[in-house]
């Protein structure tokens, strides 16, 4: 157990639907990162939060949004889902903003859009 908890582990939903992926960072970590892993794009950075504030955005679609709550857990919301959104979504956390002390990944949420 890495200490980063992602729920659910698996999610199957239909096109056009909306889902929420949840991430609880490792105890003491203030920064949360979301990554998408798909067969064609590989591992891509989506967004980073630090202590409740958005710090960086990567290749995140406008249909996707995220937030980090006061208890530091984070949610990634995916809406108007398309078949191409099927992927493994990882959350990672780090103690501070720079990742200087490394990143801990959760086990991922496997999203299948049918």
Partner 1 sequence: AQKITQTQPGMFVQEKEAVTLDCTYDTSDQSYGLFWYKQPSSGEMIFLIYQGSYDEQNATEGRYSLNFQKARKSANLVISASQLGDSAMYFCAMREGRVGAGSYQLTFGKGTKLSVIP
> For binding to partner 1 (CB under 8 A), which residues are involved?
2, 33, 35, 42-45, 48, 55-56, 58, 88, 90, 92, 94, 97-100, 102-108, 110
65 vs 17: CA distance, rounded Å: 14
60/34 Cα distance (integer angstroms): 10
- Smallest gap from Cβ 35 to partner 1, in A, equals 8
**Nearest CB to partner 1, comparing residues 18 and 110:** 110
Q: How far apart are CA 114 and CA 106, in angstroms?
A: 24
* Dist CA 32 CA 55 (whole Å): 10
Which residue number, 9 or 18, has a Cβ lying nearer to partner 1?
9
Q: Smallest distance from the beta carbon of 17 to partner 1, in angstroms?
A: 23
Q: Which two tokens stand for residue 21?
A: 């992926």
Minimum separation from the CB atom of position 50 to partner 1 (A): 9
């Amino acid at each position: 157990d890495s200490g980063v908890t992602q729920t659910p582990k698996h999610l199957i939903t239909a096109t056009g639907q909306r889902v929420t992926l949840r991430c609880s960072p490792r105890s003491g970590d203030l920064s949360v990162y979301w990554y998408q892993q798909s067969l064609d794009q590989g591992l891509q950075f989506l967004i980073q939060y630090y202590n409740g504030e958005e710090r960086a955005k990567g290749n995140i679609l406008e249909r996707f949004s995220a937030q980090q709550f006061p208890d530091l857990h984070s949610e990634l919301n995916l809406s108007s889902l398309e078949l191409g959104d099927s992927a493994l979504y990882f959350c990672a956390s780090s103690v501070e903003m720079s990742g200087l002390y490394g990143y801990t990944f959760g086990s991922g949420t496997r999203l299948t859009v049918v």
